[in-house]
Amino acid sequence: MRKSLLLAFVGFVLTLGVFLKKSSSDVPRQESEFVYARIRYHMTSDAWRVREVPWHHDYPYGDRTFPTVLGEVTNIKTSPTSYKIVDIDSPELFDYPFAYLCEPGYLELNQKDTKNLREYLDRGGFIMVDDFRTADFSPQAGGAEDDIASFRRQMKKVYPDRDFVRLDVSDPIFNSFYKITSLDMVPPYVFPGQRPVEFLGLRDTHGNLEMVLNNNNDISEFWEWLDEGEKSMHDAATAFHFGINDVMYAMTH
């Protein structure tokens, strides 16, 4: 068992080596079998506190890294440009069955946003929600931060009768490509009084996940800083495992 795990990890490291070599030069755009949407949204009035526009966090480095690694380990045809910034109220969102949304604590849905987002999810769209936390103090907020509570209020506009559920390791999303055996992930950074990492979901009427929420975590931070050597290879691999599983689940359910 240990030998097989070691071989798998070595293979993953070699894959990252291929990516790093490719990313050192300009890669021409090519036809991709998978392109995802990074959602640009209307923001709360306090979004000015953040050093970077919230929906933009980890862009474009995380967005270039993730689809490249996805293509290497799954043989899905991708490129470092296999993503698109899409407005949350745009019908263009329906062109992308998988979407990424970050810093949801700064999301402010208007009526058009709400209608478009509900239709996207009802049609089978899937959103990975990343980079948010509950903490006693946040340098961004300048005080206590409770992003999940804020995002919950916004999603009640979309589905008044639904709520987020806590996921455990037996959920199919954690076995869709990699078999993830533990959800005890170490976040890339921790604010004072930050709560533990947990994975939440929003289910449709059939019980399938239409959102996965990386609460008290920032998975794309590992994607962004991989080639900077800022994070451990083990934690980076874990972050990619979760992201790749999200994609494979979304495209098969």
CATH number of the domain to which 235 belongs: 3.40.50.12140
Per the CB < 8 A criterion, the answer to whether 66 and 20 are in contact is no
- The model's pLDDT over 137-171, given as tens digits with 9 standing for 90+, comes to 998 878 899 999 999 999 999 999 999 999 999 99
Sign of CA dihedral 150, 151, 153, 154: positive
Number of domains in the chain: 1
Sign of CA dihedral 61, 67, 69, 72: negative
**For residue 107, what is the DSSP state?**
B
Distance CA 217, CA 199 (A): 9
By residue range, what is the domain housing residue 23? 2-252
Mean pLDDT of the chain: 88
Q: pTM (2 decimals)?
A: 0.87
Distance CA 90, CA 108 (A): 15
The mean pLDDT value for 39-46 works out to 96
Is residue 109 helix, strand or coil? coil
- What the block records as the tokens of 66 is 């993730």
Percent of the chain with pLDDT over 90: 77
Per the CB < 8 A criterion, the answer to whether 242 and 89 are in contact is no
Q: What is the pLDDT of residue 30?
A: 60
Nearest to 59 by CA among 21, 77, 26, 86: 86
Q: Which residues contact 51 (CB under 8 A, 6 or more apart)?
A: 140
Distance CA 68, CA 41 (A): 25
Q: What is the pLDDT of residue 51?
A: 81
